[in-house]
Amino acid sequence: MKDAELAERIGVLIGGPKNVSQATHCATRLRFVVKDDKMVATDDLKKLKGVVQVVESGGQTQVVIGPGVGEVYEALLKRPGWGKVAGGEGGEQKKQGFVDWLFGLLSGTFQPLLMPLLGSSMLLMVYGLANQFAWFDVDNPSAFWQVLLAAANSFFRFMPILIAATATRRLGGTPYLGATIAATLLHPAFTGLGGPGDVVDFLGLPLYVYDYASSVFPAILIAIALSYLEPLLRRILPKNLHLVLVPTLSLALLVPLAYLVIGPLGVMLGNGLVFLIQAAGEFSPILMGIVFGATFIFFVMFGLHWALVPIQLLAIAAGGDPITPMAAAYNFGVWGLAVAVFLRAPKGSDLREMAGAGALSGLIAGISEPMLYGVILRYKRVFPMIIVTGAVGGGIMGAFQVKAGAFAFSSLLTIPLMTPTLGYVIGIAVSFTMMFVGVLVFGYEAKGSNDVSTAEAAMESEDSAEPTDDQPSRAALTLDGEPTLASPLTGKVIPLSEVPDPVFAGGHVGAGVGILPTDGQVVAPFDGTIIVAPASGHAVGLRSSDGIELLIHVGIDTVNLAGRGFTTHVKVKQDVRAGDPLVDVDLKVIEEAGYSLATPVLVTNARALGEVTLDAGDTVTAGEPLLRVTPMREDASSS
């Protein structure tokens, strides 16, 4: 699906721009602050091809796309009405608890700064390596190195200005007014009052002089103060004077307040958080690494890892950030998983493609969300494995007391930012290897777990017929000729890969096609015996006299309807003739419930039979030829 088409569908399913107060994005997710959750078609969003997952967290509806999220976001903004809510100018936000509000503020403040933050960090790495290897004279650097340093360090030096702008915008204020107030903290007229820690008299009040360059919380507190002051001024002042008096009074009131109260309070808050991190590290760096490495998956799962950014930046300014290396233990475990799944997954499957892309984007760009939502949360067996891997790797990082010298995503490219480098490499190597070997040895699927579709579960349910001596086994079967299987439904034929369920689409249940039914009657495609007939009626399985097993799964996730809209005419072990009614389906019930009508028709024991190919056109009528089974050669079956 193209970016423009995906953006259009997401926009509609999120409720349109009228339902959105703010639309932003980070490295992998579109983030929406919606006004009415009931208008969001979450289930349909999850089914869109190109959407990895949908998460509700931090007061946001987060649509996980992956590394290509920027292009989808830009395409969305080109749609009518969406430009007005980009960044947060779409009206009042829905009510939030304090925790959701706080995490939303922190993540919304730093997401727009992601690109300059990472770019500056990478240039600082280059400058640091050049300094380490004495590629230039530190006391007398050339213009080239001076320019490089300016490009690398300017973001961090003037960071309070940028933070104030994005935080103010997040809170619904005028961003450049917030940035201007924060800029006064860096103005020479203020910094020239004295050295850091000096106290000067301001109308009889003590004014503490601090170095606010690279600070975080003073700017955020300024944005919060402005978010209350600006609306108040607009309410009490005449409307025709807003343009002049609102900014004038905001500056006149908040700049002194920033010098006297807000700035020092922000410094104290930042120092307190750094002290807590250092205290935890001094108490037991290994324990801290174990706990953080094991739990970082939950921060990423709910999109809360962005709230850690200000703490990481403060720790870097104080001498080094221990959080990034500990998080890397989880990240490299994910990429060990990705490589292992790529090697184990069936060739040509969507899972293999996803794992390959996840491994590449992770190891090079440091992005784990595609694997988290596409594999870890789908195949529950690997979930405890990744927690243990993160704990072990995090403990190693703590033992070596590894710290990051600049903000960065964990990837192969950012290894030089970590010190001691050897300890970091050992930590990520152990995490990667543990997960890689674990998945190769134990696999990623667990029988009966949530990673199998409802159809597979039905095949193994207590309703299924027990095999008897006269029934063909799932070993290689011998067929007469090339049997043709009739269609059990009337409708449009679609490739199996277009069925909006990764298990069906990946061929994990069986080989076959999908049908978009236009008639609600499901009939027997051949003479045989019913082997699957759950009470919900959403699926029917048959076995022919020569051992062909066919599954008809009406719609996707329709088991959730609990039988509503389905009338079943057969039961397990019942013999049927071709054309006999199996199930009557009210297609409107499925559509109104928001589920897809796509119906997989699958030969579930195809591997024991041979090749299954399409024997129909774009549309098919019940009873007409649909699939052809070409038996495998005897030498292939015996190998």
Cα separation, 356 vs 158, in Å, equals 39
Q: Identify whether the C-beta of residue 429 lies closer than 8 Å to the C-beta of residue 451.
A: no
Cα separation, 161 vs 212, in Å, equals 10
Within the chain, how many helices (H) and strands (E) appear?
Answer: 24, 22
> DSSP readout, 79-108?
STTTGGGBTS-SSPPPP--HHHHHHHHHHH
Q: Identify whether the C-beta of residue 427 lies closer than 8 Å to the C-beta of residue 402.
A: yes
Cα separation, 43 vs 37, in Å, equals 12
CB 197: neighbour CB atoms within 10 A?
Answer: 9
Torsion-angle region of 114 (φ positive above 0: left; ψ -120 to 50: alpha; else: beta)? alpha
- Kindly tell me the sign of the dihedral angle through the C-alpha atoms of 522, 624, 481, 348: negative
Residue 412 DSSP symbol: G
CA distances from 118 to 27, 124, 156 (A): 11, 10, 11
List the structure tokens of 162: 């940028």
Angle, CA 407 vertex, CA 290 and CA 50 arms, to 5°: 85
- 26 part of the active site: yes
Q: Which contacts (CB < 8 Å, 24+ apart) does range 440-446 have?
A: 440/340, 440/343, 440/344, 442/381, 442/385, 443/344, 443/381, 444/337, 444/340, 444/341, 444/344, 444/375, 444/379, 444/381, 444/382, 445/379, 445/381, 446/379, 446/380, 446/381
* E strand intervals along 407-480: 418-419
Query: Of 57, 58, 79, whose CA–CA distance to 10 is shortest?
Result: 79
Report the chain's terminal Cα–Cα distance, integer Å.
40
Q: Is 259 helix (H, G, I), strand (E, B) or coil?
A: helix
| Residue 13 burial (C-beta neighbours within 10 Å; 0-12, 13-18, 19+) | buried
Name the strand (E) or helix (H) holding 22: strand 20-25
Q: Identify whether the C-beta of residue 367 lies closer than 8 Å to the C-beta of residue 67.
A: yes
List 25, 26, 305, 508, catalytic entry: 26
Query: Of 598, 619, 485, whose CA–CA distance to 538 is shortest?
Result: 598
151-174 burial, b at 16+ Cβ within 10 Å, e below that, comes to ebbebbebbbbbbbbbbbbbbbbb
Name the strand (E) or helix (H) holding 206: strand 205-208
List 508, 538, 553, 569, catalytic entry: 553
Residues 6+ apart with CB under 8 A from 150: none
- 553 part of the active site: yes
Cα separation, 301 vs 304, in Å, equals 8
Cα separation, 76 vs 12, in Å, equals 10
Length of the chain: 639
229-255 burial, b at 16+ Cβ within 10 Å, e below that, comes to bbeebeeeeeeeeeeebbbeebeeebb
Cα separation, 195 vs 179, in Å, equals 24
Q: What are the residue numbers of the active site?
A: 26, 553
